[in-house]
Amino acid sequence: MGQRSPLSRRSAVKAAATCLTATLPLSRDLQASRSESPKANLNQSVCRWCYKNLSLDELARESARIGIKSVELLTPDEWPVVKKYGLTCAMGLGADQIHIGFNRKENHDSRAENLSKLVALAADAGIPNVICFSGNRNGMSDEEGLENCAIGLRRIVGLAEKKGINVCMELLNSKVDHKDYMCDRTAWGVRLVQKVGSPRFKLLYDIYHMQIMEGDVIRTIRDNFDYIAHFHTGGVPGRNEIDETQELNYSTICKAIVERGFRGYLAQEFIPKRDPMTSLAQAFRICDV
C-alpha cells in the first residue's frame, strides 16, 4: 500500500468511493519466463495501482503473457477489461476507504451498504474476494475497535456466505505507510476473524506490511494459515522489487505457503524501479515454486 504516485492504493480507494458503480516489446526476462513452463503451484495476481504508466489493457495483456492469472484491486467497471485476456480480478475493490472502516459504529450503515453491493457484483462476475478495512484508531482502543468491527461485519457475512464470496480485511503497517491504522497486527486480525465467526470472512495477509510490523513471516503464516485467504508481496524496505535487493526470501516464503495447500491468490504489490514488465516477470519466477 504505497503513497508515492497519483495512482496509489490510497488514491485508488478514494476514487472508488466516489464511483462504485499497442503491444509492449518483450524483455529478455519476460521472453525467458514464457519459454519455461511455470510450475503453477501458486496462483499469482498483480495489483493494478503499482503500474500507473501502463493502461489496464496493457497490464492485463502482458500479465497474461507472463503467466499471471489476475489483475486486482479493480473496481467493478474494470473487471470486464481483464476478462478479455482470460484473467480474473482476484481482489475486488469497492467504495470502502482505508482510514474510515468498520471500527466505528457510525460507519456501519455506509460500509455495510457499499460492501454488500460489491459482494453481489462480485458474485455475478465470478470475482472470488473483496477487500475491506478496519479504519484508523483515532484514539479508540483496540478492544473497542475489535468489537465494533465484528458487529459491523456480521451485517454482511451472511450475504457473503450465500454468494460464495470471501470478504478480506487487509493487514497494513501503521509504522511507515498507514499511520494509526487499527488492523496492523496478525493477532488482532485473527481475533477478529474468530469473533465474526464466518468461513467467508478472512484476512488479506500483506507480507510487506507484516514484515515491517512484526517479522517472523513464515512462522506467522503457518500458525495462522486457516485465517488467511489472500497474500500480497512487496520488497522490504521500500516496497520495490522482491529480489536480492531487499531482506525477504520470497521463494522460501512461497514454498511455505504452497506446502500448506493454499488454493487462493498471491498478488505482486511492489513498485518497480526498473522496466516494469521485466520486474514483474522476475517476481513471477521467484514465486513460481
What is the CATH number for 67? 3.20.20.150
pLDDT tens-digit readout, 201-241: 999 999 999 999 999 999 999 999 999 999 999 999 999 99
- Predicted confidence at residue 206, as pLDDT, reads 98
Dihedral, CA of residue 215, residue 218, residue 222 and residue 224, to nearest 10: 20
Residue 95 lies in a domain: yes
What CA–CA distances, in Å, run from 227 to 40, 91, 248?
23, 16, 22
- Provide the grid cell at 169: 480485511
pTM: 0.89
- Predicted confidence at residue 32, as pLDDT, reads 47
pLDDT tens-digit readout, 142-192: 999 999 999 999 999 999 999 999 999 999 999 999 999 999 999 999 999
What residues have CB less than 8 Å from 141, skipping those under 6 apart? Answer: none
- The label of the residue with cell 459504529 reads 105
Residue 174 lies in a domain: yes
Residue 269 lies in a domain: no
- Predicted confidence at residue 37, as pLDDT, reads 87
The number of folded domains in the chain is: 1
pLDDT tens-digit readout, 27-41: 444 454 445 789 999
Q: What is the rounded distance in angstroms from the CA atom of residue 4 to the CA atom of residue 1?
A: 10
pLDDT tens-digit readout, 57-71: 999 999 999 999 999
- Predicted confidence at residue 266, as pLDDT, reads 98
Residue 242 lies in a domain: no
